[in-house]
Amino acid sequence: MTQKVTERAEHAQHEDSRYEAVRSRDARFDGAFFFAVETTGIYCRPSCPAVTPKRRNVRFFATAAAAQGSGFRACRRCRPDAVPGSADWNVRADVVGRAVRLIGDGVVDREGVAGLAGRLGYSARQVQRQLTAELGAGPVALARAQRAHTARVLLQTTGLPVTEIAFASGFASVRQFNDTIRAVYAATPSALRAAAPARDRPARRDATPSAGIPLRLAHRGPYQHGPVFDLLGHEAVAGVEEVSGPPGRRVYRRTLRLPYGTGIVAVDERPGGPRTGPGGWLEARLHLTDLRDLTTAVQRLRRLFDLDADPYAVDERLAADPRLAPLVAARPGLRSPGTADPGELAVRAVAGRARSERLVRRYGKALDAPCGTLTHLFPEPAVLAAAEPAGTLGALAAALADGAVRLDPGADRDEAERALLAVPGVDARTAAVVRTRALGDPDVAPPGAAVPETWRPWRSYALNHLRAAGEWEQHR
C-alpha cells in the first residue's frame, strides 16, 4: 500500500514538472512528451504559443500516437506531429527503442506487425504489450500517426493529387486515408491542404514530382552545421555523394537506395528557422522514383544528420567535465552524424574512400536519370560478395548479404558488434566506428582509449568535440 502511494506521489510530481514546462513554453521538451486539453479535444507540443490551459484540464502523453488514440486532434498552431522525435530512441538499446526505430523506417507499413516482431525476435503480442505499456500506443497506432504526418507534409508542400498522396503515405485505401486525416487533424485532406501555413505555400507551387519534395527537417536546440558538413565533405564518395559551395552555404547531395525505388536528396548547410530561440530545421529537397519511400527516406536523413538528438542533455553532461567544458561552450549542439545506409557505411569503413570509389565505378548500379555528378547507387553487399569474395571486404559483404551481420535500425547493438568482430579482418576500432555511425550508438569509445566514465552516456559526442577541436590525437 505504501509503495502504491509513493508511486502515485511520484507520478503526480512528474506531471507537475511537465505542466511547468508547458506553462513556460519550454521547447526543450518538444517531442519528449505531448499534452492534451480535455475541454478542446486538442493535443499540442509543450512550446505551443496558445494560452496555457488550466492544470485540471490537461493530460500528458508519451507520443502523438497515444494522444490521437485517446481521441485528441493535432493543434493547427504548433503542429505537434512535426516536432523532432524523442531522443530516447537514439539512446535506448532495448526492444522498445529498437521497435520505434524500425517503425520510423516504415517496417510496419511494408511488413506488418508480424514482420516487426520477427525482426525483434519477439512475438507480436509481446511487442504490442511493451509498446503500449511504455508509449501508450501499439505498433499499428504509431505507424498510423507517422502515415498521417507524411500525408500532411505531402498535402501542404506539394501539388500531388490527393489520391496519389493517400497511397504514397502508406495507406491501404483512400477511405482509410480520409478517415485518418479527419480523425487526426479534424479536417478533410482538401481543407488541410488549403490551410497550409504561409511559409509552405511558396514551396508548394514548384513541388512537382520532377522538381522534388521540399522538406524542413526539424531539430531541437542549437545545431552545429559546419562540423557535420566538414565530415560529409571529407568522406564523400564520388558518384554517390558530393558537397559543393563555400563554407556556410554548402549543399550536400547523395543518392539513396530505398525499399521501393531510388532517391536523390539535397540538404542545405544554411540554418533554417528563427534566428533566435531553440530549434530550427535543415532545408532539403528530395527526388524519389516512388513516393512510398518518403517516410523511410526522411528517417534515414534524420539519422544521418542526428536530428533527433537532445543537445541540452548532451551538453549539460559534458560541460560538467573541466576538459570538455570550453569545447562544449565553443560548439553547443555538436552532433554525432550517422549514415543513410548502414551496410554502405560498414563497407566504406573497411574499404576506405579511394577503394569505395572504385567499387562504385565497377559495381554500383547506374541511375536511370543521373543528376550532375551523382551517377550511381553504392553497390549492394550481395553484389560485392559475388564480385570480390576475397579478403575482409568480401567476408563482410557476404555477412551483410546473408544476415549474419544486421545493421538495420532495429538491430541489437551488442549482437551486431559481436557479429562484426567475427568477420575475419574486422578489428575492434572498425567495429566501434560502425557501432557509432551505422547503429547510432551515442556512447561509444574507441577500444583502448582512456575515456572517463563520467562522459557516459554521451561518449560518442565527447569524442566528436575533441575531434572538432583538433585535440583527439593529443588526448590519446
Q: Is the pLDDT of residue 206 over 60?
A: no
Domain 2-82 has CATH 3.40.10.10: yes
Q: Is the pLDDT of residue 425 over 70?
A: yes
Task: Look at strands 262-272 and 251-257 and give their pairing.
Answer: antiparallel
Tell me, what's the pLDDT at 200? Answer: 58
- Amino acid letter, 422: A
Q: Is the pLDDT of residue 55 over 70?
A: yes
Q: How is the chain split into domains, by residue range?
A: 2-82, 88-157+159-205, 213-475
Q: Is the pLDDT of residue 201 over 60?
A: no
Residue 188 CB partners (closer than 8 Å, separation 6+): 178, 181, 182
Tell me, what's the pLDDT at 198? Answer: 66
Each residue of 31-50: pLDDT tens digit? 889 999 999 999 999 999 99
Each residue of 2-11: pLDDT tens digit? 655 555 656 6
Alpha carbons 429 and 424: distance in angstroms, whole number: 14
Q: Are 103 and 116 in contact (CB under 8 A)?
A: yes
Tell me, what's the pLDDT at 476? Answer: 41
For residue 27, what pLDDT band results from cuts at 50, 70 and 90?
confident
For residue 92, what pLDDT band results from cuts at 50, 70 and 90?
confident
Strand order in the sheet with 262-272: 213-219, 280-288, 262-272, 251-257, 241-244
Q: What are phi and psi of 283, to 5 degrees?
A: -80, 135
Q: What are phi and psi of 30, to 5 degrees?
A: -60, 125
Whole-number CA gyration radius for the chain = 22
157-161, 273-277, 280-284, 443-447: least confident range: 273-277
- Percent above pLDDT 70 for the chain: 92
Each residue of 237-256: pLDDT tens digit? 999 999 999 999 999 999 99
- Percent above pLDDT 90 for the chain: 74
Each residue of 306-336: pLDDT tens digit? 999 999 999 999 999 999 999 999 999 999 9
Q: Are 263 and 254 in contact (CB under 8 A)?
A: no
DSSP-derived secondary structure letter, 446: -
Mean pLDDT, rounded, of the chain:
90
Alpha carbons 155 and 281: distance in angstroms, whole number: 19
For residue 471, what pLDDT band results from cuts at 50, 70 and 90?
confident
Alpha carbons 192 and 169: distance in angstroms, whole number: 15
Alpha carbons 100 and 176: distance in angstroms, whole number: 23
Residue 387 is placed in which grid cell?
564480385
Q: How much is the average pLDDT of 82-99?
A: 81
Cα–Cα distance list, 375 to 304, 352, 357, 372 (Å): 21, 20, 12, 7
Tell me, what's the pLDDT at 153? Answer: 86
Model's pTM, two decimal places? 0.90
Question: Domain 213-475: what homologous superfamily?
Answer: DNA-3-methyladenine glycosylase AlkA, N-terminal domain (3.30.310.20)
Q: Is the dihedral of CA 170, 173, 177, 183 positive or negative?
A: negative
Tell me, what's the pLDDT at 208? Answer: 53
Tell me, what's the pLDDT at 158? Answer: 83
Count of Cβ atoms closer than 10 Å to residue 58 Cβ: 18
3-state SS class at 33: strand
Tell me, what's the pLDDT at 181? Answer: 93
Tell me, what's the pLDDT at 446? Answer: 85
Each residue of 457-466: pLDDT tens digit? 999 999 999 9
Tell me, what's the pLDDT at 44? Answer: 94
Q: How much is the average pLDDT of 84-108?
A: 86
- Which residue in 257, 250, 305, 304 sits closest to 280, CA to CA? 305
For residue 172, what pLDDT band results from cuts at 50, 70 and 90?
confident
For residue 275, what pLDDT band results from cuts at 50, 70 and 90?
very low
Q: How much is the average pLDDT of 414-443?
A: 96
> CATH for 88-157+159-205?
1.10.10.60
Q: Is the pLDDT of residue 259 over 80?
A: yes
Each residue of 355-409: pLDDT tens digit? 999 999 999 999 999 999 999 999 999 999 999 999 999 999 999 999 999 999 9
Tell me, what's the pLDDT at 475? Answer: 43
